[in-house]
């Protein structure tokens, strides 16, 4: 199964693993590099997304994930499968429909 992982602030900018509680880092495993994340999503390949949402706003162009338009211009549909709370951080598993 192709899985991509990311830690994101609520505004969509990237958070680092060191900012997460230990259990959230375990939940994610390793974070997918931004260029690979965008490429994988653009190709419509991922079957699962694991995201840790960090309840802060960060902002700035240097931390934003590049856009990932798909080849056919259509959205990739995912369903929320599981949510886990790590204090104020929310871990969510999304799977492709």
Q: What is the mean pLDDT of each run of 10 residues along the chain (97 residues)?
A: 83 83 92 80 78 77 59 78 94 89
* pLDDT at residue 67, as a whole number: 59
* pLDDT at residue 52, as a whole number: 94
Write 60-69 long-range contacts (CB < 8 A, 24+): 60/13, 63/13, 63/14, 64/12, 64/13, 64/14, 65/6, 65/8, 65/12, 65/13, 65/14, 65/34, 65/37, 65/38, 66/34, 66/35, 66/38, 67/38, 68/37, 68/38, 68/39, 68/41, 68/42, 69/42
pTM over 0.85: no
* pLDDT at residue 84, as a whole number: 95
């Amino acid at each position: 199964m192709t899985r991509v992982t990311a830690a994101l602030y609520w505004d969509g900018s990237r958070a680092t693993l060191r900012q997460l509680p230990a259990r959230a880092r375990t939940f994610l495993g390793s974070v997918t590099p931004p260029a690979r994340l965008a490429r994988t999503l653009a190709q419509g390949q991922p079957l699962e997304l694991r995201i840790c949402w960090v309840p802060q706003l960060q902002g700035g162009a240097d931390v934003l994930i590049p856009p990932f338009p798909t080849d056919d211009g259509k959205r990739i549909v995912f369903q929320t499968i599981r949510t886990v709370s790590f204090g104020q951080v929310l871990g969510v598993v999304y799977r492709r429909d």
